[in-house]
Amino acid sequence: MKKKSLFGVLVAVALSALGNPGQGAGTVESFGVDFGNAASAAQPGWTNMGVVTVTPSSTLKSVPLRRNNLEASSSPVLAGTLFGRSVYLAVTAKSEASVGNMCYNNANSTWREKGETRGGQPGGVLQAESAFSFPNHGEALNTSLQLFTNGMAVRAGTVRVSLSGLAPGKEYAVSFFLGSGKPAYQSVYLVSGAHVDVKALQTSTGSRMEETWKGGVNTADADTYMAVEWTAAADEAGTLVFDVVKEGNSAGTGALNLNALTVRTDDTPAPPAPEPKPVSVLHNRALTVLPSPVALPVPADAWTGTGEMTCELWVRPDGDAASGAILSLGASTLSLNAGRLHLESGNAEAPASVEASGQPFAAGTWHHVAVALGTENVSLYVDGTLAGTAPAAPYLASMKNGWTGLVLAAQFKGARDELRFWNAELGTGADDFFLTGPLPMAHPRYGRLVGLWRLDGDFRDAKWTEFADKTGSSFTRPYQAVTPSGTEFSIVTDNNTFRYMLMTAYVRDSHLRYHWLSRSHIINNNDLIYIGVTGLTADGTITHWRPDNDVKEKNGVTFLPREGTRTSIYRFTGPNASMRVGGGLLGGDPAAFTIEADMLLSAERENFILFGNDNVSLTISWAADHYRARIQVGTSKAWEADLPDIPLNEYFWIAFVRNNDTGTFYLNNTAVETVAAAAGNDLDSQTANAVVGSNLVGNIDEMRIWVEARAAGKLGKAVQHAWADRQIVAYWGDSDVEDYDTASWVSDLRYLRELTAEVEGINIRLCVSGGSDWKKMLGNEAARNKFATQIAEMLNEYGDLLDGVDLDFEWLYQGDSLWNGYGALAEAIRQKIGSGPVFTITLHTVAYWFPKDKIQFVDFFPFQNYGPSSSAGTYNTMVSACNLFRSWGYPDSKIQLSGPFYGVTGASGATDAMLYRDLKGEEELNDPALDQLTLNSNGKKYYYNGVDTTRKKNKYISDQKLAGFMYWDLGGDISDSRNESNYFDQRSLLRAANRYVSSTSFPVTASPFGLSRVGASVPAAGGPVDVEVQMEEEALGWVVAESPEWISVSASSGIGRTTVILTASENKSAAGRSGTVVFRASDKQECAVTVTQAGADLAGYDKWVQDTFPPDATADRTAADASPAGDGVTNLMKYATGLDPLKPCGSVTKVSVEEGADGNRHLVLRWPVNPQAAEVKHEVEVSPDLVSWISLGEVETAGKTSAEFRDAEPVQKSGMKRRFLRLKVTRE
């Protein structure tokens, strides 16, 4: 009897695991992948997935795939569609094989049923009927992807299958079919996704252990194969990842054969997907839907001055033969033509185009594309490689003449990501195209970057302009555009080259307080872990050695921002005045501490508590004729002192210093005789939350508490950002913000937030570390729950400062039972804090045995690949450690490797350590290839990670697709002469790390305010140009701030989106002109449109001026009535008569007396004529007195080079009145 078909089994599973079609899940869709099949034509509902042969690798290595025999791709390849959603497949593999090929197509001995081999001959000849009947009667068992392990049973191997493009949270049934002689030594492990169900198919057997299905021995009908179906929900990124594993067992077979997989789901809606966490740090997005073009307002002069330009971005086309415009550069268009990158000049008079060579882009594959314009050529690049070139001239002309900004075309069928625009020709340098992540400031040409658009959710410009002086950039404003309604951006999960990775820096509290950290250094990380102040007790209580002592409550206290020359003063008005601050100060029996205050008294004979809690009380009281100071510590120690005279309303500095058994009061830095006293009931009314100034009538300007015995010479002195002043634990009156304690851990976080102000894409988290009580906490369930609860409470209370938490408990070793407690703690913390905050646990190469089933509760693991020994931080040690972490079960997405920003002298236990910044004076540090140096000051040799090693480590992390890089610590990097970290120093290790793992941080810019165009052209005759004022804040007001006289505007101000008509008047000059109209928003943003107008076709006088005068001649010299030669003869007269306007000429006309035809003598006036001055009228006038002139008529000069006029009035021999003639010229 024939067995039940697989399709029937799959449908049955759909009814039980995916919902009953009759109750809402009415439709089921599926597809299959036929591995090892090199045919170009696939069966309906199937995709052939041929494998490109790869060599052995002990770590997961990308296996290029050929979809239906198209071009091979290491990026995810389109595998099928489910309800209109494209699903992509990627394969990586590793093997203990050391020779031969690791993965390849196999068509022999892949499947056995009923004792018969299926596909036993080349071509997959059917030798036995299969019990499996796939949809559409597909055939998928004759070929396979074979993982080779030297043919030896003891060699292990893994094939990782990644499916992406799935709906987050939705359930899918994924079935694997493996032909094998020994299925009992194979397993399928769910790496990413939520388990729902798993079961064997047909006669295949096996068992589940946590997230692993281990195969069993087939018994029925002599079958030897493995067929297993997983039902799992896709993770938040829409992926499912499985490891198909062949064990290294002497009884197992020597190879693994993956014949096929199928994926199926129904039409049940996916659950609402939570916002990925944290989007700006870990998740890249891409532009996927653009309903209308977007002009990014890059002005032409941002690049035309250099004559060079590069535009680069990532594209992922949909469809096997994608075509369509990507963007426009002036009149030139960059597009895909049947899957090939294509550039069209757009010049109708001189058309030109260039197309990239190579295979067309396959559907669903990401490619980096670039067009680079140089002085000689325009070049096309694909994935960083030159793919086409042509002469630059026609493209330069079309880009310049038609420039209206960088315009993203609408309705591009696919995705676009990470758009960059430069005023330089890229591609000539090895590091020009940065493909692995967001562009760092460390890029060698960052100073030539004009604009950078991440396309992560809007069209804001993400380039850093505040460091223009360091990068050499001349661009100081962002070029951003308003997002059209209906635009969509989607999370990218399938670009294996360009990825958002983590750059995590530990920030020591002391380095922060020393002000070592520059803003440029900080923002080139995207995950900062503040460490050094927070620990815990055995019962799970969180402690801070510099607690939060902001003022919690004030009664009868007023904060004065300024009084005279003093600032930040607290005025107490007694008798019930007081200020409550936090707890945690001076607990237990503090052997050394200092309390000091700068204050004044406003009333006589006061009695008040300057500071008091349940362990320490400092009081000042009136004793007959003077003040007495008293302090009690605990229940057994007290000191008293009679103070010198304290004048009213004058500030004085009072302090108490304890140094073990000695206590001393000081007044204005002078010691006061202090004696031990009996302890009393001073503490009875106090609580852990300290009180300051209880019953005081007066002012406190500053008050400080230190956990050290301060030297008398330091009392009252300004607190320095230095090692000597590190022990301050409370400080009031030092902030212009009311109630702030500027010495607490919370104050440090505020300062860190100030350093990252106006920056997005950076997490700031708190590390809990130190001591040994954490072991006791891990072993106690009640303590673990208390600790988890307090973590959640802390993150809730300080949510404006903290994005998450890190645990650094050093260390647990292999076999320690407390690992179970550690895993339970992680689960408890995740349950308490939810999915929002980032939660990490720092582990080490010698301490990584975290419970596998609890890994899911931790976002990622920063592994310390460094230590006190010189070998702990090497590149090889890190790579070996990574293999251990992977073998244990950590997914690549949660492995964060690291490096030291310090040097050590030798083996563990006999080592000195020195920060990298402190080694900077040594000459050897200038060589990026070196990892060791001998310090001149002490003769010791230090081992460290140099620039090249740091860069190499990060390249490995990028190539291996790991989570990112972590380092200890931010303050250790190279510094400048001010002792501030210097990111722009070529020796900076962070700069080196950013070469392959860059930060995702970006500047916060104002809500986009822009124009629909940045440039327009009008003819010489003039005309209108329409410009839409655009903004995302509809209520934003705007004005026209600047406009040239020859351009009129239809509206000079407005609110919200408005179309403004710019009208250019006629240009009568032969020279073209351009003018800029500047729009200014109410939030001070500015954007501009440049109108370029053609010059007039000149004739007559205007052309004579152009031909005769130098180009720089001013209008007052070329005017018709001007006389630039200084001879009194106007330019118009010289134009009409053909004379040089720049040379003196004397008289233009000549007069004589000649006999006429009537026998009389007459006046005759003669002059030269410019035959080109056709628009000039020549007229002779007469006057008896040189004052009143009368016209005698126009003289015809057309076609002549000279002219004369004979006066009709005869000249009398006697009695003749005076008579004067003159020439007058006018332009018609």
Using one digit for the tens of pLDDT, what is the confidence trace for 659-682?
999 999 999 999 999 999 998 888
The answer to whether the beta carbons of residues 1032 and 1056 sit under 8 Å apart is no
pLDDT at residue 221 tops 70: no
Nearest to 487 by CA among 408, 418, 420, 421: 408
Residue in the block written with tokens 């009759």 = 22
Asked if 480 and 568 sit in the same domain, the reply is no
Residues 1184 and 1089 in one domain: no
pTM equals: 0.73
Q: Give 957-994 pLDDT, tens digit per residue.
A: 999 989 999 999 999 999 998 899 999 999 999 999 99
Q: What pLDDT is attached to residue 1127?
A: 93
User: Average pLDDT of the chain?
Assistant: 88
- What digits encode the pLDDT tens for the residues 1155-1164? 988 889 999 9
Which residue range forms the structural domain that includes residue 726? 547-743
The one-character DSSP state at 14 is H
Is the domain of 383 the same as that of 470? yes
Q: Which two tokens stand for residue 1098?
A: 């000149």
Mean pLDDT confidence for 492-511: 92
Q: What is the DSSP letter of 210?
A: T
* Interval 613-637 mean pLDDT: 94
Model confidence at 181: pLDDT above 80 = no
Closest CA to 849 of 815, 873, 894, 892: 815
Same domain, 627 and 688: yes
| Per-residue pLDDT at 254 | 72
Weakest mean pLDDT among 124-138, 200-214, 218-232, 1192-1206: 124-138
Q: Per the domain annotation, does 1106 fall within a domain? A: no
CA angle 758, 760, 762 (to 5 degrees): 120
Q: pLDDT-derived band of residue 121, with 50, 70 and 90 as boundaries?
A: very low
In a domain, 59, yes or no: yes
Q: Give the pLDDT score at 601.
A: 97
CATH number of 686's domain: 2.60.120.200
Question: Using 50, 70 and 90 to split pLDDT, how confident is the model at 110?
Answer: low
pLDDT for the residue numbered 278? 40
The mean pLDDT value for 264-280 works out to 66
Is residue 272, in this structure, part of any structural domain at all? no
756 and 738 housed in the same domain: no
Percent of all residues in the chain with a pLDDT value above 70, rounded to a whole number: 93
Split at pLDDT 50, 70, 90, the class of 280 is very low
- pLDDT score of 1099 more than 50: yes
Q: How confident is the model at residue 70 (pLDDT cuts 50, 70, 90)?
A: confident
CA dihedral 379, 380, 383, 386 (to 10 degrees): -50
Tokens 């692995």 -> residue: 436
Cβ 1041 vs Cβ 1078: under 8 Å:
yes
Position 119 confidence tier, pLDDT thresholds 50, 70, 90? low
Task: For 927-967, give the secondary structure using H, E and C.
Answer: CCCCCEEECCCCCCEEECCCHHHHHHHHHHHHHCCCCEEEE
Domain total in the chain: 6
* CA 607, chain centre distance (Å): 58
The pLDDT value given to residue 1082: 87
Q: Are 726 and 637 contained in the same domain?
A: yes
Is the CB of residue 1096 less than 8 Å from the CB of residue 1061?
no
Q: Label residue 903 by pLDDT band (50, 70, 90).
A: very high
User: Is 1108's pLDDT higher than 80?
Assistant: yes
CATH number reported for the structural domain that contains residue 875 in this entry: 3.20.20.80
The pLDDT assigned to 938 comes to 84
What is the average pLDDT across 383-390?
Answer: 95
Tokens in use for 764?
Answer: 């700031």
Q: In what order do the strands lie in the sheet with 861-864?
A: 838-841, 804-808, 763-769, 527-531, 502-508, 964-968, 895-900, 861-864, 843-844
Mapped onto helix, strand or coil, the DSSP state of residue 474 is coil
Query: Does the pLDDT of residue 123 top 50, yes or no?
Result: no
Position 276 scores a pLDDT of 42
- The larger pLDDT score, comparing residue 1098 to residue 110, is at 1098
Question: Which residue did the predictor score with more confidence, 472 or 308?
Answer: 308
Does any domain span residue 1? no
Alpha helix locations (H) across 110-239?
none
pLDDT at res. 6: 27
If asked whether residues 763 and 690 sit together in one domain, one would say no
> Do residues 729 and 786 share a domain?
no
Structural domain includes residue 273: no
| Mean pLDDT value across residues 125-147 | 67
Residues 6+ apart with CB under 8 A from 350: 394, 397
pLDDT at 1192 over 80: yes
Residue 949: φ, ψ to 5°: -65, -40
Per-residue pLDDT at 907: 64
pLDDT recorded at residue 673: 96
Q: How confident is the model at residue 558, as a pLDDT?
A: 96
Q: Is the pLDDT reported for residue 275 higher than 50?
A: no
Residue position matching structure tokens 């697709």: 961
What average pLDDT score do residues 263-289 get?
73
For residues 812-840, give the mean pLDDT.
93
Ranges 136-140, 470-474, 911-915, most confident: 911-915
- Is residue 496 included in any domain, yes or no? no
Decide if pLDDT at 117 tops 80: no
Which residues, at least 6 apart from 119, have a Cβ–Cβ distance to it below 8 Å? 107, 108, 109, 110, 111, 125, 126, 127, 141, 142, 143
- Are both 1019 and 1131 inside the same structural domain? no
Q: How far is CA 86 from CA 71, 320, 511, 539, 806, in A?
A: 19, 12, 49, 52, 37
Q: Helix (H, G, I), strand (E, B), or coil: what is residue 744?
A: coil
Residues 933 and 874 both lie in one domain: yes
Q: pLDDT at residue 230 above 80?
A: yes
Q: Are 902 and 970 in contact (CB under 8 A)?
A: no
Q: What is the mean pLDDT of residues 1193-1213?
A: 91
Identify the residue with better confidence: 1223 or 95. 1223
Residues 481 and 516 in one domain: no
Region 563-579: what's the mean pLDDT?
A: 93
Which pLDDT score is estimated for 152?
A: 64
For residue 1101, being part of any structural domain is answered with: no
The verdict on residue 958 lying in a domain is yes
Residues 940, 1019, single domain; the answer is no
Residue 323: in which H helix or E strand, if any?
Answer: none
When mean pLDDT is compared over 75-89, 307-321, 600-614, the highest value belongs to: 600-614
pLDDT above 80: residue 419? yes
